[in-house]
């Protein structure tokens, strides 16, 4: 029994058919062609699929597609805005060496955004807590934590 789900994706309304067994990540990477969101483990462990739903970080691999209806969702594609410039958090990962192969990066960045939206001035412990659901096999976490601090500082200066 397919149903049509409507939600706001990166600021624009979308409508897409969802099957009962599908997950949000299937809609994003499938009919919506938003392949920035990655699938790693498919079971909530790695965070590569992290998106922000109604202000909270969520694993798109565990989120039933039919429940996307009526929500507001941000993926990595929604971060840069209209122009081709990188957002502050994206730039931070580039500047601080928080990115190598890049597979974990969209998830890391969305978790960082969810954290900084709530806590603009996090302690290192809070940063570690905020990223506890994201695994990286390349960079080492030191650079990633540096990236979050860098982004937090710049975002605070801006506001």
Partner 1 sequence: MTPEAYYKPRTLEEAFALKADHPEAFFIAGGTDLMVLMRAGICRPSALISLRHIEPLHQLTVGATTHIGAMTRVAELLEHPEIEERYPLLTAAARRLGSPQVRSVATVGGNLANASPCADTAVALLALGARIRLASPDGEREIPLDQFFVGPKTTCLFSQELVTEIILDEDARGTHGVFIKKGRVKMDIAQASLALWARVKDGQCEQIRLAAGSVGPVPLRLPEVERVLLNHPLDDDRISQASTAAEQTVQPITDIRATADYRRQLIGVFVRRALRQICTESR
Ligand X SMILES: Cc1cc2nc3c(=O)[nH]c(=O)nc-3n(C[C@H](O)[C@H](O)[C@H](O)COP(=O)(O)OP(=O)(O)OC[C@H]3O[C@@H](n4cnc5c(N)ncnc54)[C@H](O)[C@@H]3O)c2cc1C
Binding site for partner 1 (CB under 8 A): 1, 3, 18, 20-21, 23, 42-44, 47, 50, 53, 56-59, 61-64, 66-67, 111, 114-115, 128-130, 132-134
d(CA 97, CA 74): 24
Residue 97 site contact among ligand FES, ligand X, partner 1, none (CB < 5 to 8 Å, cut-off depends on kind): none
Count of helices and strands (H, E) across the chain? 5, 5
User: Binding to ligand FES by residue 42, rule CB under 6 A?
Assistant: yes
Q: Which of residues 24-53 bind ligand X (CB under 6 A)?
A: 44-45
Residue 44: CB minimum distance to ligand X, A = 3
Nearest to 23 by CA among 57, 59, 48: 59
CA distance 16 to 104: 26
Residue 64 contact partner, candidates ligand X, partner 1, ligand FES, none, CB within 5 to 8 A by sort of partner: partner 1
d(CA 23, CA 125): 32
Neighbours of 66 (CB within 10 A): 18
With CB under 6 A, what is the number of residues at the site for ligand X? 2
């Amino acid at each position: 029994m397919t149903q049509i789900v409507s939600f706001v994706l990166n600021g624009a309304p979308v409508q897409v058919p969802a099957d009962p067994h599908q997950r949000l990540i299937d809609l994003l990477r499938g009919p919506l062609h938003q392949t920035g969101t990655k699938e790693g483990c498919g079971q909530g462990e790695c965070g590569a699929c992290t998106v922000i739903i109604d202000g909270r970080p969520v694993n798109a691999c565990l989120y039933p597609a039919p429940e996307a209806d009526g929500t507001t969702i941000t993926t990595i594609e929604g971060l840069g805005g209209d122009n081709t410039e990188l957002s502050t958090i994206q730039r931070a990962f580039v500047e601080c060496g928080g990115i190598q192969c890049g597979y974990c990066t969209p998830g890391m960045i969305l978790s960082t955004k969810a954290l900084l939206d709530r806590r603009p001035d996090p302690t290192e412990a809070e940063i570690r807590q905020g990223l506890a659901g994201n695994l990286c096999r390349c960079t080492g976490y030191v650079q990633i934590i540096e990236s979050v601090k860098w982004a937090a500082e710049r975002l605070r200066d801006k506001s």
